[in-house]
Amino acid sequence: MNTVLAAEAGSTTARNLTITLFLVFVAITLAITVWASRQTKTATDFYAGGRSFSGFQNGMAIGGDYMSAASFLGIAGIIALYGYDGFLYSIGFLVAWLVALLLVAELLRNSGRYTMADVLAFRMRQRPVRTAAAVSTITVSIFYLLAQMVGAGALVALLLGIKPDTTFLGMDADTAKVATIIMVGALMIIYVTVGGMKGTTYVQIVKAFLLMGGALAMTLLVLAKYKFNLSSLLGDAASASGKGAAFLEPGLRYGVETPGDALKTFYSKMDLLSLGIALVLGTAGLPHILIRFYTVPTARAARKSVLWAIGIIGTFYLLTLALGFGAAAIVGGSEITAQDKAGNTAAPQLAEKLGEQFLGGDLGGATLLAIIAAVAFATILAVVAGLTLASSSSLAHDFYANVVKKGEASERQEVTVARISALVIGAVSIVLSIYAQNLNVAFLVALAFAVAASGNLPAILYSLFWKRFNTSGAVWAIYGGLLAAVVLVFFSPVVSGAPTAMFPDHDWQWFPLSNPGIISIPFGFLCGWLGTILSKENDEEKYAELEVRSLTGAGAH
């Protein structure tokens, strides 16, 4: 009896500590946002932070933007449940930066002002191209937002000790997760509408420091527990996973060999290839990453910020290995899936176990869990703010100012529309996230990467490097790639026809792969080529001007 009472008292203390830390962080970030709002006077301040950030600051902010809930919660969870196959996400997300650095970072900074469409529309007819770019930006951002919101729901359910069949403030586990998603949505809308790019950037920089510190501390504790012996850590992870040696080899989740079914084996291998292509090519088409290149004063600073980002992100993804295998060894797969089917809570559960072992008892576990959960929540808030800013900027700057108002909107009107857009996009994301709670967040982000690489990347690369490319090609590339990716996802096992689908009780699935990239990305490039050669429009002078601007920065804002 006394033991039960002590455990209950410990869990209440843990819950109170967690909620307090969580509220402190929210208060700090809101204070930063209000401070930034006083510095936000023009459209350049709202969209690009006044182009006042250094390469290092922007590199930290890019790291903060990129190391999302998918990186921290999703990858740790997917490694904890699938071992070797989960690490493919870490590799893919990191290698993708080389494509962004070598192909787009500097050229984009030199050529545009606030959004990706500034580059596309420079040598083409404004209205069709900007409309297509706005639609694409919003679609990609909403896919990405889903991942963050789902991660937030799972995280806060763990924080408050809500498991299936338990209640909190009269809410069951599912209702509490929905309430969390709504709360995160409301906070992100406040960050963007009040603070703009300055507020969002400072929140991302603070969050990058916190996340690196938290991940490093947990990695050192995991390694200390195993006396820095990696083979004993991996051995324990394999035995605790219940899958034995197969846990440390490829083939648990992707490229699965199905004896007697050559077609199923082929589809599984294609899914792996499709995921790899989407991860590597996706970053260079992500709108919320692309707009970060406009926040620095020069192209050199843009390059420097990507190099800083690669260093920060590369280190972080090495740490996810220790977190994932550590969670498998110390927490165990069955305990992780009991809390969250998709494994999204593996890292915070690992923090709780490490706290109990190194800091002593339930209170130690609660303290470390509270700190790591507050960091993870900071991660979610910073990323959703960046995403909402990218999509609301595109709606206001590309669609409202240049399509509806034909370039005649005042800066004040534009920023007002951006703020209203943030509200609408936030509301749509909240509703969709409620239905996506069964999916792993790293996997959801991989879908966003596939959509970005299918719709945005062909148009950006053709625009920068193909002299013949024209308005028709840009519109075909964006809509063709985007439509192919979204339709294939809709008819894939992600949405229906599988136990982990968004709608597990329905089945309209006919596309066998979970990731559409292998079909939709080449289709986007094909549409861009076809649209271009079928149109007679060709402005070589404008291309020459864009080429000079992109390479030298001459005439860039």
Per-residue pLDDT, 224: 92
Per-residue pLDDT, 556: 53
Which one, of 287, 238, 311, lies nearest residue 391 by Cα?
287
Per-residue pLDDT, 1: 46
Q: State yes or no: pLDDT of 14 exceeds 90.
A: no
At 406, the pLDDT band (50, 70, 90 cuts) reads confident
Q: State yes or no: pLDDT of 527 exceeds 90.
A: yes
CA angle centred on 302, ends 299 and 307, rounded to 5°: 130
Per-residue pLDDT, 48: 53
Beta strand spans in 11-145 (E): none
Determine the Cα–Cα distance for residues 45 and 41; give it in Å rounded to an integer: 6
Write the pLDDT tens digit of every residue in 411-431.
778 778 878 888 888 888 888
Q: What is the DSSP letter of 228?
A: T
Q: How far is CA 23 from the centre of its chain?
A: 23
Mean pLDDT value across the chain: 79
Q: State yes or no: pLDDT of 5 exceeds 50.
A: no
> Which is more confident, 196 or 354?
354
Q: State yes or no: pLDDT of 153 exceeds 70.
A: yes
Write the pLDDT tens digit of every residue in 45-75.
565 555 567 778 888 888 877 777 667 788 8
What mean pLDDT do residues 366-373 have? 82
Per-residue pLDDT, 223: 92
Residues of the chain with pLDDT > 70: what percent?
87
Write the pLDDT tens digit of every residue in 220-250.
999 999 888 888 888 888 888 778 788 888 8
Q: State yes or no: pLDDT of 525 exceeds 80.
A: yes
Cα-based distances in Å from 60 to 46, 56, 203, 205, 208: 19, 6, 11, 5, 6
What mean pLDDT do residues 274-285 have? 86
Cα-based distances in Å from 321 to 238, 341, 548: 14, 20, 43
Q: How far apart are the first and last CA of the chain?
A: 70
Q: State yes or no: pLDDT of 44 exceeds 90.
A: no
**Cβ neighbours of 378 (radius 10 Å):** 25
Determine the Cα–Cα distance for residues 137 and 451; give it in Å rounded to an integer: 10
What mean pLDDT do residues 202-211 have? 82
Per-residue pLDDT, 2: 46
At 375, the pLDDT band (50, 70, 90 cuts) reads confident
What mean pLDDT do residues 300-326 have? 85
Q: State yes or no: pLDDT of 270 exceeds 60.
A: yes
Per-residue pLDDT, 41: 62
Per-residue pLDDT, 163: 65
Q: State yes or no: pLDDT of 434 exceeds 70.
A: yes
Q: State yes or no: pLDDT of 297 exceeds 60.
A: yes
At 40, the pLDDT band (50, 70, 90 cuts) reads low
Write the pLDDT tens digit of every residue in 469-490.
888 999 999 999 999 998 998 8
Q: Please, are residues 421 and 391 in contact by the beta-carbon 8 Å criterion?
A: yes
What mean pLDDT do residues 506-519 have? 88
Write the pLDDT tens digit of every residue in 441-459.
767 777 888 888 998 889 9
Per-residue pLDDT, 531: 93
Which one, of 125, 100, 138, lies nearest residue 474 by Cα?
125
The residue with tokens 């939709």 is: 520
